[in-house]
Amino acid sequence: MSAFDSLKDHTKEGRVFLARSVIAFMVVLLLLGVLIGRLYFLQVVQHDQLAAVSDDNRIQLQPVAPTRGLIYDRNGTLLADNRPSYSVTLLKEKMGDLEATLTELQRLIPITERELKSFRKRLKQRRRPYETVPLRFRLTDDEIARIAVNYQRLPGVQVEADLIRYYPFGASLVHALGYVGRINEKELQRVDAKNYSGTHYIGKLGIERFYEPLLHGQVGYHKVETNARGRVMRVLEQTDPVPGKDIVLHLDIRLQQAAEKLVEGRRASIVAIDPKTGGILALVSNPGYDPNLFVTGISTKAYKALRESPDLPLFNRALRGQYPPGSTIKPMVALGVIDSGAVSPSHTVYDPGFYTLTHGGRRYRDWKRGGHGTVGLDMAIYQSCDVWFYDVANRTGVDIISDYLGRFGFGQVTSLDLPEALPGILPSKAWKRSTGRGSWFSGDTLNLSIGQGWMLTTPLQLATAAAVMANRGVWKQPRMLKGVMTHNQKRDPKVIDGSVVEISGLEGTSAVLPNIELKNEQYWQRIIDAMVAVVHGPRGTARKVGHGLDFQIAGKTGTAQVVGIKQDAVYDAESLAERHRDHALFLAFAPADQPEIAVSVIVENGGGGSSTAAPLAREVINAFMALKKQDAGETEMTGVATDG
């Protein structure tokens, strides 16, 4: 025992310790109470909130992109398909060393510098978490196998299957359909981000762009449980996407191809419209280009080649080619001058081969040297006499002519669903002043009356005007869309719901013109007869094409002096000479009494309208009639077969 022991009071120490222990135990109980109180707060009071936090952690909504609607022609031929395509993608979140992975991948499959560059660009763009970034598209089976074998060594690398757009008719339809491409950031801001959360492609041009809301469909969702690293553990719930609507166009691919063949090797455009519906039967702009190249992204080299080609394949001549219409507008001008009452229908002019506004003034030439002699309205049309038009235009004035031409849709976009269409130019006094070209001269009126000078029209506008003429003033808005396909159980592509689809946001995108009401409705027949004489009359400018038809074509030739379209490149002398030739135009509808097709043809630097453009129009109309007969025969045979 130590020396201190004598000083220690063991009993008292024990008592003090007991007291302290009791206090300590009370403190323990108190603190346990604090913990329990805290647990009560978290697990009972805040339970609902914290349960929500916990659910937000683990439950994610994964968008499932809808399948894009298909595009069919009027007979159910597939024009735009979806095909599976395999691409190799990288997931940043799961990847270790990006550069090492890329090097390794490059060892396995060919990856171009450009693909690497655009991959890096995509990688830098804002993404949703755990969204993969594509590196290369359209993998071959061999490439897929090579990647699959090396999966273990390539964390974050995936081969993903995707449905991508495929255009079986390639360049034939690019100007009619447009194409889809990978959605970019600007477009993402424009669309409903939620509905596009799973979508990688969007309509960039044409029908694909215009009917994007219809074709896209409604996004679906997988409600999934993920772990903290974003890996999907299981699917809790799913809402299937609603596929986009399959749409049917008025287009007849057979007619389109026939028309395209006619202008092979030329810079030309053909537009055919069904006047009864306004439906566009064919829309050819030659040359075209393969839209499939643009779907997953075209290479810089290929794009440069397209852009720099002197034939301007990227240029949609049918919708955006603005040409002087030449004499093709003479029937509309003639209709205007007589219906307005400014000139009598029996008005005749003596044509010495030129026209002067003032005695001894500037001579406005007729295309025919020496002139046509005494010319009336009908002859002025079928012989395309310029002097008669100079004379009546000068008597009528620009205001009336411009007004009547406007009623046929010139100077504005009247088509429903071709967003790239240009309005052309319909000159008037107001137009000339407002564009800073000074005041209107009488000479301008003369030029306008024969479709030269300021006036510019697109092939689509000419075909539209022909259709309105064919309809005797009844307007049917030109359109590509025939309807939406409603599939029956057999998914028979021929079952077509022809009702017009209402899409919000379309109103007001283009002008809807009223029917043309003439003061004297008989003038329609007068003008149409003159147009028939162009083709079938003994002295018509297009009389060469009028033979051997069992129906009548009403038409009008046109030859436009070259103004040139976007020709900033330098060409060699030979091509320069070729490109100085006149544009050949023709505008027609048939059969003249019961019109079923209205056509416009423009061949750039094609020479004369009667020699170059008219035969093409005839062939198109002929092809259309033959197809009609063929279809009718088939239906009859089917009918017989069913009856039998």
Q: Which residue has the tokens 């964390």?
A: 155
Number of alpha carbons in the 13 Å side-chain half-sphere of residue 16 = 6
Smaller CB separation from other proteins, 49 or 374: 49
Smaller CB separation from other proteins, 40 or 441: 40
Name the segment binding other proteins (CB under 8 A); options: 48-56, 358-366, 400-408, 598-606. 48-56
Q: Which residue in the list 327, 384, 402, 428 is annotated as catalytic?
A: 327
- Does 327 participate in catalysis according to the annotation? yes
Smaller CB separation from other proteins, 50 or 149: 50
**Angle of the 459-470 helix axis to the 330-339 helix axis, nearest 10:** 50
Let me know if 510 is exposed, middle or buried by CB neighbors in 10 A (0-12, 13-18, 19+).
buried
Question: Is the Cβ–Cβ distance between 620 and 282 less than 8 Å?
Answer: yes
Of 527, 554, 540, which Cα lies nearest the Cα of 383? Answer: 540
CB of 237 to other proteins, least distance (A): 16
* Contact call for residue 495 and other proteins (CB under 8 A): no
Binds other proteins by CB under 8 A, chosen from 11, 35, 517, 522: 35
What is the Cα–Cα distance from 321 to 456, expressed in whole angstroms?
9
What is the Cα–Cα distance from 374 to 156, expressed in whole angstroms?
84
Smaller CB separation from other proteins, 55 or 636: 55
* Contact call for residue 11 and other proteins (CB under 8 A): no
CB of 26 to other proteins, least distance (A): 11
Q: State phi, psi for 242 to the nearest 5 degrees.
A: -95, 115
* Contact call for residue 17 and other proteins (CB under 8 A): yes
Smaller CB separation from other proteins, 50 or 145: 50
Of 168, 292, 186, which Cα lies nearest the Cα of 302? Answer: 292
CB of 127 to other proteins, least distance (A): 18
CB of 144 to other proteins, least distance (A): 32
Q: State phi, psi for 252 to the nearest 5 degrees.
A: -115, 110
* Contact call for residue 34 and other proteins (CB under 8 A): yes
CB of 224 to other proteins, least distance (A): 11
Per-residue contact flags (x/-) with other proteins for residues 169 to 208, judged by CB under 8 A: ----------------------------------------
* Contact call for residue 576 and other proteins (CB under 8 A): no
In one-letter notation, the amino acid at residue 300 is: T
Binds other proteins by CB under 8 A, chosen from 227, 356, 374, 638: 227
Q: Is the four-CA dihedral 80, 84, 85, 90 of positive or negative sign?
A: positive
* Contact call for residue 14 and other proteins (CB under 8 A): yes
CB of 96 to other proteins, least distance (A): 19
E strand or H helix that includes residue 458: none
CB of 90 to other proteins, least distance (A): 23
* Contact call for residue 232 and other proteins (CB under 8 A): no
CB of 61 to other proteins, least distance (A): 16
* Contact call for residue 26 and other proteins (CB under 8 A): no
CB of 17 to other proteins, least distance (A): 5
* Contact call for residue 16 and other proteins (CB under 8 A): yes
What is the Cα–Cα distance from 87 to 413, expressed in whole angstroms?
40
Binds other proteins by CB under 8 A, chosen from 26, 50, 235, 637: 50
Facing residues of 603 across strands? 268, 584
What is the Cα–Cα distance from 490 to 500, expressed in whole angstroms?
23
Q: Are strands 247-249 and 71-72 parallel, antiparallel or unpaired?
A: parallel
Q: State phi, psi for 281 to the nearest 5 degrees.
A: -85, -35
* Contact call for residue 356 and other proteins (CB under 8 A): no
* Window 54-83: residues binding other proteins (CB under 8 A): 54-55, 57-58
What is the Cα–Cα distance from 36 to 42, expressed in whole angstroms?
10
Binds other proteins by CB under 8 A, chosen from 26, 43, 630, 632: 43
Name the segment binding other proteins (CB under 8 A); options: 14-22, 187-195, 324-332, 518-526. 14-22
* Contact call for residue 236 and other proteins (CB under 8 A): no
In one-letter notation, the amino acid at residue 93 is: E
Question: Is the Cβ–Cβ distance between 348 and 375 less than 8 Å?
Answer: yes
* Contact call for residue 7 and other proteins (CB under 8 A): yes
Other C-beta atoms closer than 10 Å to the C-beta of 541 total 26
Q: Is the peptide bond before 493 cis (omega within 30 degrees of 0)?
A: no
Q: State phi, psi for 156 to the nearest 5 degrees.
A: 85, -5
Binds other proteins by CB under 8 A, chosen from 150, 226, 309, 442: 226
* Contact call for residue 13 and other proteins (CB under 8 A): yes
What is the Cα–Cα distance from 556 to 560, expressed in whole angstroms?
13
Q: Give, rounded to a whole angstrom, the gap between the first and last alpha carbons of the chain.
A: 128
Determine the distance from the C-alpha atom of residue 185 to the mean position of all C-alpha atoms in its chain, rounded to a whole number.
Answer: 20
Other C-beta atoms closer than 10 Å to the C-beta of 425 total 17
Binds other proteins by CB under 8 A, chosen from 24, 236, 495, 500: 24
Binding residues for other proteins, rule CB under 8 A, total 45
Catalytic residues, by residue number, are 327
Binding site for other proteins (CB under 8 A): 2, 4, 7-10, 13-14, 16-21, 24-25, 28-29, 31-32, 34-36, 38-40, 42-44, 46-47, 49-51, 53-55, 57-58, 225-229, 233
